[in-house]
Chain A
């Protein structure tokens, strides 16, 4: 059975130039190891492939039960260069949370 990541985690997107960062946190501390599994660099890269992302770097923050994802070239030019209505990529936290996941056990 597949569910949306939205049920288990919350996230905020930030931008610098053409680089997108996503801070992602679990609601329940004991889901953290599961979150880390779901948010592998290849999984995240696949979800954003259609945006032309060139590289994904993942940073783990076990004390915060959070993951910081940095996606290069995700913003198609960034706030001053994109043709997208949301040049900042602020809405992309919701794209991440729409990831289909296998629920934690």
Chain B
């Protein structure tokens, strides 16, 4: 038996018309199938927590209706289970909105499930924290914590499906678990069948970023051509009970599935390929092979699994000072010299006016907008050729007024800077930062809550 899972969104800002061709393709399979939406990054969740603090009915995915309304009716009518982390900081609020949408579409009996237990903000002092390997900040050093969310695994999602949920709404769940859950449920894989779980989690990993495996984030004209960039097909993965998996996409859509697109996504955000840690299984990619079977069909084999980790990764979000950004343009003859003079003038003004602990960075957009370090430049500058340059200042400080003062100095370049500067923009935000820790699995207890429907009981 084959189980097919599609992915209708790879991040919160993804194309909202993506899922329709996927659902058409899913409906043509004579096989169990599911549709996942992955809309939650470290940054998105932190922002959602802040929205929830301001408004208790908020904090879920803002584009929920846009993502779901084109496909919800067909999914409910055709046994295509939807699983999404679009609950973000408030799965209950997302559930309410999906219930209302289902009612409007004539499915008042829809059975929805929310998964809870990832939010451990109220248990900060009760959990046994350990810093994640790349984390230098101790949890006790963090002030103004606004969110703490554990990456849950597939278990509670599988339970929700067993109870008859047609839509499973989660907050922080490991991205691959959204695909692994329906695969485990339909294939009936044992919780310690590590090689199978690794195949299922890898299937999820490959599709969790949407088009990043079907030609999105891949095109490089002249070197890597991608057809149909405006109508990219979102991915489908066909997974057999023995763990063999094939990545493909709906017919008639843009993009492509090749060994190259699959390999780039295979290693995406992975550190040690022999030990990619998920809450459900540790994935070993060392012996993985990819093979093009036909146009837009790539087989992935050789994945192995190791026992799931004892501790689960947890993202802690905290408020930490303010960031300011401001920009001004210099164009035409001698633009670089004037932009450079503006930068040096601004540097002197900040030294004169702002506290020494102001963190600041200058970019000359048009020469380098992203490659430089905060205080050291890359060697690769083309300053002679550049004649349209935007000086960017970015600053950070605990005190908002210092940040405003610093960007004010860029604004003042209008009158006090080199000739011909224009187009100033200023922007200030409170900084929401994240840190990563590990907590013991047994201190985390995910729960399933059913809403509406008749269930399977």
B284 to nearest A CB, angstroms? 12
| Chain B residue nearest to A6 in the complex (CB) | B223
A47 and B206 alpha carbons, distance in the complex (Å): 29
Q: What residues of chain A lie closer than 8 Å to B285, measured between beta carbons? A: 61
Stretch at the interface among B59-67, B409-417, B431-439: B431-439
| Chain B residue nearest to A76 in the complex (CB) | B374
A85 and B220 alpha carbons, distance in the complex (Å): 22
User: By the criterion CB–CB under 8 Å, are B432 and A21 in contact?
Assistant: no
B390 to nearest A CB, angstroms? 11
A-B contacts, CB under 8 A, total: 132
A32-48 toward B: CB 8 Å interface, digit per residue (1/0)? 00000000000000000
A70 and B265 alpha carbons, distance in the complex (Å): 15
A31 within 8 A of B: no
Q: What residues of chain A lie closer than 8 Å to B370, measured between beta carbons? A: 84-86, 91-92
Stretch at the interface among B225-233, B268-276, B348-356: B268-276
User: By the criterion CB–CB under 8 Å, are A21 and B288 in contact?
Assistant: no
B290 within 8 A of A: yes
Q: A10-B220, A50-B378 are in contact. Are A68 and B273 (CB under 8 A)?
A: yes
Q: What residues of chain B lie closer than 8 Å to A17, measured between beta carbons? A: 132, 134-135, 434-436
8 Å CB contacts to A: which residues of B333-380? Answer: 359-361, 363, 369-374, 376-380
Main secondary structure of the interface of A (DSSP, over half): mixed
A64 and B298 alpha carbons, distance in the complex (Å): 13
Q: What residues of chain A lie closer than 8 Å to B132, measured between beta carbons? A: 17
User: By the criterion CB–CB under 8 Å, are A12 and B223 in contact?
Assistant: no
User: By the criterion CB–CB under 8 Å, are B268 and A14 in contact?
Assistant: yes
18 interchain pairs, CB-CB under 8 A: A11-B264, A14-B270, A21-B268, A21-B271, A23-B263, A23-B264, A23-B270, A25-B263, A49-B376, A50-B377, A52-B374, A59-B272, A61-B285, A68-B267, A70-B271, A79-B41, A80-B432, A95-B371
